[in-house]
A = this chain, B = another copy of it.
Amino acid sequence: MASYTRTSSLKAGLPPGTPVHVGEQKADAVKITVVDYNPEGSREFTPESPKNCTLYRTAETVTWINVDGLHEVDLIGEVCSCFGIHPLTVEDILNTTQRPKLDVFDDYLFLVIKTQTYNPQTFRVEVEQVSLILGDRYLLSFRERPGDAFDGVRSRILGNKGRIRKMGADYLAYTLLDAIIDNYYAVLERVGETIEELEEELVGRPTPETLKKIHLLKREMILLRRSVWPLREVISSLLRDEELSQISKGLYFYLKDLYDHTVHVIDTIETFRDIISGMLEIYLSSVSNRLNEIMKVLTIFAAIFIPLTFIAGVYGMNFNTAASPFNMPELNWFLGYPFALFLMAATAGGMLAAFRRKGWL
């Protein structure tokens, strides 16, 4: 939680626009990959020096430069300066505690998105920041660490599958966004499975462990929501703003589809939140029901023995039967003991009958 804000304070006191890497270092070394393509062909390579990137700013081909790892501030700065990126954008790329957003600059669009991927090594969902810079014929993408989320897109370009080689950098950006949103579905699926498991636990025998899981799930939904809500605004403003020169008209239906998917994700998150709230209520009332049932049975149990013990206590009194005929004559009766036992049995039976009549059993 706090890790969302912790390192931001490193920047307090620095002039705005100073490039500082804010966040964990998640990659060993910064790795730059260039994919350059047009309908006729494509190639992928690692540039020798970031300065060579300048060539691609004005090239006729579509150029996709992907940067994995953000801790080498100068390197990132050089790549950005090739494309005339504003210092504030560079600062935002390096600060991984950003909120998803769209900034419209004269030359390019700047998008910050959060991805959520399930890391099988750590068994946890990991939030990562992806920054996209969309220019006229180039796309820069910055990620915190290398990953396979964009591999499918890369192989489609290099293998010339689908329509991607025929489209511009805007379609490439759309494809990357689509891949990121598909990842959200995967996370939601996992959450949905967990919900189903928890519901079976709730129907069976819920334990305090169940409660802990429900709360963890609830918090995960809070964080997920925090990532996706602003994403919807981002795509919505891409759709609305018709004067963005970087987005071609033909992309409208694709962006609309992307928007629908985002709304669907949000919708599912909200439904899950409602269901999780309901599960919490069920848990609490079922635990309380269960305990009440136990307490009720035990209290009734105790209530039945209380008068019996009292009777036994009475006949355990030591009044001197010799001193007076009124002093506990039952003790000397021929059937005194059976009478006492019968009295106890009758009392217990009468109480059971009364409790049953009142519907307490």
Contact = CB atoms under 8 A, between A and B. Distances in A.
Interface of A: 1-6, 8-9, 11-18, 86, 88, 92, 97-99, 101, 103, 105, 152, 156, 161-164, 174-175, 178-179, 182-183, 185-186, 188-189, 192-193, 195-196, 205, 208, 211, 215, 218-219, 222-223, 226, 230, 253-254, 256-257, 260, 263-264, 267-268, 271-272, 274-275, 278, 280-282, 284-287, 289, 291-292, 294-296, 298-303, 305-310, 312-321, 323-324, 326-328, 330-338, 340-341, 344, 359-360
A309 B317 contact: no
28 contacts: A1-B192, A2-B192, A5-B188, A9-B189, A11-B185, A13-B179, A14-B152, A15-B161, A15-B163, A92-B257, A98-B260, A101-B260, A103-B253, A219-B278, A222-B278, A226-B267, A291-B295, A291-B296, A294-B296, A298-B302, A302-B306, A305-B310, A309-B310, A313-B316, A315-B319, A323-B336, A326-B334, A326-B338
B309 A254 contact: no
Contacts of A226: 267, 271
Contact residues of A: prevailing secondary structure: helix
Given A222-B274, A271-B226, A298 B300 contact: yes
A17 B253 CA distance: 11
Given A313-B309, A337-B317, A164 B15 contact: yes
**Which residue, of A208, A281, A314, has the highest number of chain B Cβ atoms within 10 A?**
A314
B152 A13 contact: yes
Contact of A317 (B6, B264, B318, B338): B318
A118 to B, nearest CB: 11
Contacts of A174: 16
A273 to B, nearest CB: 10
Contacts of A327: 331, 333-334, 336-337
Copies assembled: 5
Given A2-B196, A302-B302, A267 B99 contact: yes
6 cross-chain pairs, A with B, having the tightest CB-CB distances, nearest first:
A2-B192, A312-B313, A315-B317, A15-B162, A12-B182, A324-B334
A219 B275 contact: yes
Given A16-B174, A318-B328, A294 B305 contact: no
